[in-house]
């Protein structure tokens, strides 16, 4: 005679097969939460015979969630040693961040189904599973054996619960306990919720320590004056009335980004352009707690004075005109864009070029740092182009392999500009000599510019060489400029090159990790290979139709390209594409999801 659990598993398995074979909802014997998840999984076209999930090997292994979970996982790992159980922590999006397994056989099975750090087990990729359902429904759940949507997961059972931030209530991740099917599976829910409570307690203690440190720093500064003061932490914003009256939530974000960079610039103060066009002078101090960096304390000084006497109408009108002018676009020759962040860095570069102020430009590769320097330099009326010396390849200046010698060999004087690329690549032992070479060039009236990926990478001897620093925004942060950028770049390709209306929405969906340089390469190749007078969707590379978050093998890239090409040829009709490729429509859906293909398709 079958045990109750065995009979139940068989009934659930039979109900699942019936649900997959017809359009009826799952049978009432299936628990409500599992029924709902099955229906979501079937609607998404989740595969039932293989596990295909995104992989992201590079992630923050020192995040607050991971730090809070580590001592709890360490304790559970000792308790579970030799047992057929495994504990897993994921972030709020389902990415597995840590895993501890009690036995090798279970570990090998979890590796085969990709339930390992770096993989994503959200419901949208795997279908019904403990992690996915817990994050989707924001509550604890248990998924037993045959209740899994994917057959390869049905020999294990799992219990999962969301991990919440006790201060904000936001879901930060999930804890999952997985074991082979058996009698012990009924105890999993209690065990996993106990582990979640421990992680939430550690997170609260850490957050509480940060908040106490921020509050103490805030009270010390605000006790002696009424100047605008802002304290910014990960989950806490403190502001006195003078700051609250003049700052918005977007201003808080801008100031937080500026504060994270300020400690690496030579000045202890920094001007920041706010969302409304106002400029504020910010003095920043990092606030530390026993649990690490808590946040930043900002003392602010606005450049205008709203408290001036009302009778000073002339001064008010003058300031108003200045503020309006500062918010207007600042076009530079050969460049395009009106995004506030781009506008700010364009103005800063133009002013520094005009005043010969040494400038440090930082931003991701391909954002246009060199183009910005050339345009700002040209705006001064200079006849010569900037001389560029790359710290990673000093021989480009034909001065041997010594970087300081390459800089000294560059032409100097009024009307000249000298750019040191990859400042962060300057070796520590070369720092003093390079600094002297830059100072000597600046003394001759040369405009000195340094560029690098991140401002914190400036070597100590070189920080004093750059009086001002400015960030060049990534393309994904200024997508409003995309139409103007596309038009500008296509004009470089050739007169009369146009693009179809549906091209721009597709370009907007891309992250552009290579920024403007990547956009220029894509448009140039599409224009060269276009079949009509304008660029169509089919002229864009297949990779642009994919939003996958992991690196693909050569075989996977070829499969993705073939799938994209087939879909484009049939105007996005998945059924026709499946017939042409000799695969099922379900496989089309699964492959599109696995590769993140985002074609503007029709059903």
In 334-430 the beta strands, taken as DSSP E runs, fall at 359-362, 387-390, 417-421
Sequential DSSP letters for 68-104: HHHHHHHHHHHHHTTSSEEEEEEETTSBEEEEEESSH
Average pLDDT over residues 213-228: 78
Per-residue model confidence (pLDDT) at position 160: 95
Same domain? For 404 and 460 the reply is yes
Count of structural domains within the chain: 4
Q: Are 421 and 391 in contact (CB under 8 A)?
A: yes
Q: Which of 172, 205, 238 is the last residue of a domain?
A: 205
Q: Is residue 165 part of a domain?
A: yes
| CATH classification of the domain holding 249 | 3.30.450
381-421 pLDDT per residue, tens: 888 889 999 988 755 444 445 888 889 888 888 889 999 99
Same domain? For 46 and 144 the reply is yes
| CATH classification of the domain holding 89 | 3.30.450.40
Same domain? For 307 and 404 the reply is no
User: ∠258-263-267 over CA atoms, to 5°?
Assistant: 90
Q: Is residue 210 part of a domain?
A: no
Same domain? For 233 and 150 the reply is no
Per-residue model confidence (pLDDT) at position 60: 77
Q: Is residue 38 part of a domain?
A: yes
Cα 579 to Cα 66, 96, 164, 558, 583, distances in angstroms: 46, 36, 46, 19, 6
What's the gap between Cα 549 and its chain centre? 11
Q: Which of 149-163, 216-230, 366-380, 471-485 has the lowest mean pLDDT?
A: 216-230
What's the gap between Cα 344 and its chain centre? 22
Q: Which of 438, 473, 508 is the last residue of a domain?
A: 473
Per-residue model confidence (pLDDT) at position 1: 41
What does the mean pLDDT of the chain come to? Answer: 82
Same domain? For 245 and 301 the reply is yes
Q: Are 117 and 90 in contact (CB under 8 A)?
A: no
**For 508, which DSSP code?**
H
Q: Are 285 and 297 in contact (CB under 8 A)?
A: yes
Closest CA to 165 of 91, 257, 220: 91
45-90 pLDDT per residue, tens: 888 888 888 888 777 787 889 989 999 999 999 888 888 899 999 9
Q: Are 582 and 589 in contact (CB under 8 A)?
A: no
Tokens read off for 484: 């103007």
Tokens read off for 305: 């004075």
Per-residue model confidence (pLDDT) at position 186: 57
User: Exposure of 553 by Cβ count < 10 A (0-12 exposed, 13-18 middle, 19+ buried)?
Assistant: exposed
**For 26, which DSSP code?**
P
In 512-566 the beta strands, taken as DSSP E runs, fall at 534-535
| Helix, strand counts (H, E) of the chain | 21, 17
Q: Are 84 and 179 in contact (CB under 8 A)?
A: yes
Q: Is residue 313 part of a domain?
A: yes
User: Whole-angstrom Cα distance, residue 355 to residue 263?
Assistant: 24
Q: Is residue 331 part of a domain?
A: no
In 375-439 the beta strands, taken as DSSP E runs, fall at 387-390, 417-421
Q: Is residue 571 part of a domain?
A: yes
Task: Decide if pLDDT at 599 tops 80.
Answer: no
Length of the chain: 603
Per-residue model confidence (pLDDT) at position 92: 92
Calculate the dihedral angle through the C-alpha atoms of 507, 510, 516, 519, rounding to the nearest 10 degrees: -50
Same domain? For 429 and 310 the reply is no
Average pLDDT over residues 331-347: 83
Same domain? For 76 and 159 the reply is yes
| CATH classification of the domain holding 556 | 1.10.8.60
Tokens read off for 390: 């790359």
What values do phi and psi take at 398, rounded to 5? Answer: 55, 40
Same domain? For 515 and 454 the reply is no
What values do phi and psi take at 30, rounded to 5? Answer: -80, 130
Q: Is residue 213 part of a domain?
A: no
Which string of b and e fits 449-480 if b means at least 16 CB within 10 Å? bbbbbebeebbebbbebbbbbbbbbbbebbbe
Same domain? For 47 and 143 the reply is yes
β-sheet with 85-91: strand ranges across = 96-101, 85-91, 171-180, 156-164, 141-143
Same domain? For 190 and 61 the reply is yes
Per-residue model confidence (pLDDT) at position 3: 58
Find the radius of gyration of the CA atoms of the chain: 29
Same domain? For 550 and 415 the reply is no
Cα 320 to Cα 275, 324, 327, distances in angstroms: 15, 6, 11
User: ∠428-430-431 over CA atoms, to 5°?
Assistant: 65
What values do phi and psi take at 313, rounded to 5? Answer: -70, -35
Same domain? For 525 and 569 the reply is yes
Q: Is residue 268 part of a domain?
A: yes
User: Whole-angstrom Cα distance, residue 182 to residue 156?
Assistant: 9
514-549 pLDDT per residue, tens: 889 989 998 988 888 887 788 888 888 877 776 655
**For 55, which DSSP code?**
B
**Which strand (E) or helix (H) includes residue 174?**
strand 171-180
Percentage of residues in the chain having pLDDT higher than 90: 26
Sequential DSSP letters for 177-206: EEEESSGGGGGHHHHHHHHHHHHHHHHHHH
| CATH classification of the domain holding 356 | 3.40.50.300
115-141 pLDDT per residue, tens: 999 999 999 899 999 999 999 999 999
User: Whole-angstrom Cα distance, residue 131 to residue 133?
Assistant: 6
Q: Which of 473, 502, 537 is the last residue of a domain?
A: 473
Q: What range does the domain containing 520 cover?
A: 481-595
Sequential DSSP letters for 225-278: --S-EEEEESS-EEE-HHHHTT--HHHHHHHHHHHHHHTTSSSSEEEEE-TTS-
């Amino acid at each position: 005679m079958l045990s109750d659990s065995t009979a139940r598993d068989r009934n659930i398995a039979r109900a699942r097969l019936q649900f997959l074979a017809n359009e009826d909802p799952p049978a009432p014997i299936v628990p409500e939460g599992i029924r709902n998840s099955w229906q979501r999984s079937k609607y998404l076209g989740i595969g039932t015979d293989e596990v295909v999930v995104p992989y992201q090997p590079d992630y923050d292994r020192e995040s607050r969630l991971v730090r809070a979970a580590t001592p709890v996982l360490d304790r559970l790992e000792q308790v579970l040693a030799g047992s057929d159980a495994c504990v897993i922590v994921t972030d709020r999006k389902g990415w597995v961040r840590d895993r501890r397994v009690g036995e090798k056989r279970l570990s090998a099975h979890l590796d085969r189904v990709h339930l390992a750090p770096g993989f994503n087990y959200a419901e949208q990729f795997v279908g019904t599973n403990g992690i996915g359902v817990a994050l989707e429904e924001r509550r604890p759940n248990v998924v037993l054996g045959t209740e899994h949507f994917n057959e390869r997961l049905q020999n294990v059972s799992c219990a999962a619960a969301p991990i919440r931030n006790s201060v904000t209530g936001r879901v930060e991740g999930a804890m999952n306990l997985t074991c082979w099917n058996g009698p012990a599976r009924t105890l999993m829910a209690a065990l996993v919720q106990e582990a979640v409570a421990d992680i939430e307690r550690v997170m609260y203690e850490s957050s509480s320590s940060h908040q106490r440190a921020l509050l103490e720093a805030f009270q010390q500064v605000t006790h002696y004056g009424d100047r605008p003061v802002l304290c910014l932490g990960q989950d806490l914003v403190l502001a006195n009335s003078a700051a609250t009256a003049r700052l918005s939530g977007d201003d808080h974000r801008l100031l937080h980004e500026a504060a994270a960079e300020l400690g690496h610039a030579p000045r202890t103060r920094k001007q920041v352009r706010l969302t409304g066009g106002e400029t504020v002078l910010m003095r920043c101090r990092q606030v530390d707690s026993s649990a690490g960096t808590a946040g930043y304390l900002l003392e602010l000084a606005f450049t205008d004075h709203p408290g001036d006497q009302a009778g000073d109408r002339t001064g008010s009108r003058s300031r108003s005109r200045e503020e309006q002018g500062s918010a207007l676009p600042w076009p530079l020759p050969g460049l395009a864009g009106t995004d506030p962040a781009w506008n700010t860095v364009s103005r800063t570069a133009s002013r520094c070029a005009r005043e010969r102020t040494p400038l440090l430009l930082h931003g991701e590769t391909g954002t246009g740092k060199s183009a910005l320097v050339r345009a700002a330099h040209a705006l001064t009326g200079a006849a010569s182009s900037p001389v560029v010396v790359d710290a990673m390849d000093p021989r480009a200046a034909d001065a041997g392999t010594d970087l300081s010698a390459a800089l000294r060999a560059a032409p100097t004087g009024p009307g000249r500009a000298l750019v040191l690329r990859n400042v962060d690549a300057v070796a520590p032992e070369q720092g003093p000599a390079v600094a002297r070479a830059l100072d000597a060039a600046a003394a001759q009236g040369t405009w000195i510019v340094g560029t690098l990926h991140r401002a914190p990478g400036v070597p100590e001897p070189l920080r004093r060489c750059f009086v001002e620093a400015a960030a060049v925004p990534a393309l994904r942060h200024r997508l409003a400029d995309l139409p103007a950028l596309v038009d500008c770049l296509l004009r470089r390709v050739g007169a009369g090159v146009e693009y179809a209306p549906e091209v721009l929405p597709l370009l907007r969906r891309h992250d552009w990790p290579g920024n403007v340089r990547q956009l220029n390469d894509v448009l140039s190749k599409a224009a060269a290979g276009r079949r009509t007078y304008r660029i169509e969707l089919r002229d864009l590379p297949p990779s642009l139709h994919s939003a996958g978050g992991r690196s693909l093998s050569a075989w996977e890239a070829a499969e993705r390209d073939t799938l994209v090409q087939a879909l484009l040829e049939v105007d996005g009709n998945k059924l026709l594409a499946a017939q042409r490729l000799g695969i099922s429509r379900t496989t089309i859906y699964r492959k599109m999801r696995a590769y993140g293909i985002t074609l503007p398709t029709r059903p």
